[in-house]
Structure 1
């Protein structure tokens, strides 16, 4: 069984395996080079070669680009995959809000994302219909920010065999969603250290002993309306 070394940042205190009570740090490596892999500001309709949409067949559901934003407005589950395999040390940043304006699907929930996703049984990842349980067989990292009607924020590693290892589970107000707030999300994968940031605060940090070093990134949600903008993915070398 894989050995897990977990760290969580909240309230300014870092706890990790083998230590406790250490002061948190948000400093990044001072000497770092980067290569831009992806930049997307959603200024035109989605290119079906670049983006793969998997959406549950429910009424009043759509994935569109409107007013320079990617809009996920769905009754059921939806994943919008970037059709570009990512490898090595990377950083993903983007902006996103959950819209609450009395729309048909407006519900404060599920600012979710998949990354480093692969299908151990199929070289073609994009074969699903958007229903959440269909992704259980993937190998990937997953954060569900404000899931379960905005009651939980969870970080899991999917093992590729149906097992979905729960790494962290937060339910305090500071780590749940606010309506109509533009969040800046950052995800880093660096030499097995996986971290997830919201508006400059590190929510989770996890040292993976057998890290996922390649795979695909996808925006994920269900029964809600989300607007997304300013996606940028860089390759980082310290």
Structure 2
């Protein structure tokens, strides 16, 4: 009788070990697939590579874009766009962390955690040739979110196309406005013609575009403020993701 119980215990232990091994293999497979699907990532540990990043800045002596302490720093008195020089197309996801710093910096102001994506230039000017002034992008094709714009009084989503830039979504009050010195987790998804913008896993905007912008460039955007950006990952989305 004791031998039968011992045998049953061994069989159950072996079955449990087998299932645990399968589970671990599945986790490793998912992790491996996620790594394979990464198109670009940066933790900003190195000096800003101007072959990878294109900076358009309304330059003043009080403005600077640089890396420090594993962060991309946008510390500017005027407008700035920092483009990733990689054209993205198809279905993809962009994630990063970002904080609007409010302390004793010369440019500190709680405003304008912004971004462009799926951006292209239909004019003869060409990509990465703008002044950094906000109005210089009016004739481009792109999606835009201005999180906490206009002195942190508005959060808006727009599509720029053929000289038009209608507001497709807008919030005017908390919790859709900025908090100072908060580490936001920002996620942008382009999938099957639908775009969405998430903040700390909360959906801010979603738009199923009847005429989607199918490829283009991603850029961090801001004006007159100081931002710390980290842990950027651009990942290709699989059909069943």
State the TM-score, normalized to the length of structure 1: 0.84
Runs in 1 of length 4+ with deviation above 3 angstroms?
A: none
Aligned to 1:41: 43
Pairing of 1:200-219 with structure 2 (within 5 A):
200-219=201-220
Aligned residues: 205
Give, in angstroms, the shift of residue 123 of structure 1: 7.7
* Structure 2: runs of 5 or more not aligned: 1-32
Counterpart-to-counterpart distance in 1, 2:174 and 2:126: 39
SS class of match (1:107):
coil
SS class of match (1:164):
coil
Aligned to 1:171: 172
Question: For each residue in 1:138-184, what CA deviation from the matched residue of structure 2 results, as whole angstroms up to 9, or x when unmatched?
Answer: 1000000000000000000000x321021001011100000000000
SS class of match (2:136):
helix
RMSD: 1.1
State the TM-score, normalized to the length of structure 2: 0.83
Name whichever structure is richer in strand by fraction: 1
Check if 1:125 corresponds to 2:103: no
Question: For each residue in 1:17-52, what CA deviation from the matched residue of structure 2 results, as whole angstroms up to 9, or x when unmatched?
Answer: xxxxxxxxxxxxxxxx75110110000111111000
SS class of match (1:148):
helix
Pairing of 1:135-214 with structure 2 (within 5 A):
135-159=137-161, 161-214=162-215
Give, in angstroms, the shift of residue 122 of structure 1: 3.5
Counterpart-to-counterpart distance in 2, 1:214 and 1:139: 10
SS class of match (1:173):
coil
Radius of gyration: which is bigger? 2
Aligned to 1:17: none
Give, in angstroms, the shift of residue 68 of structure 1: 1.0
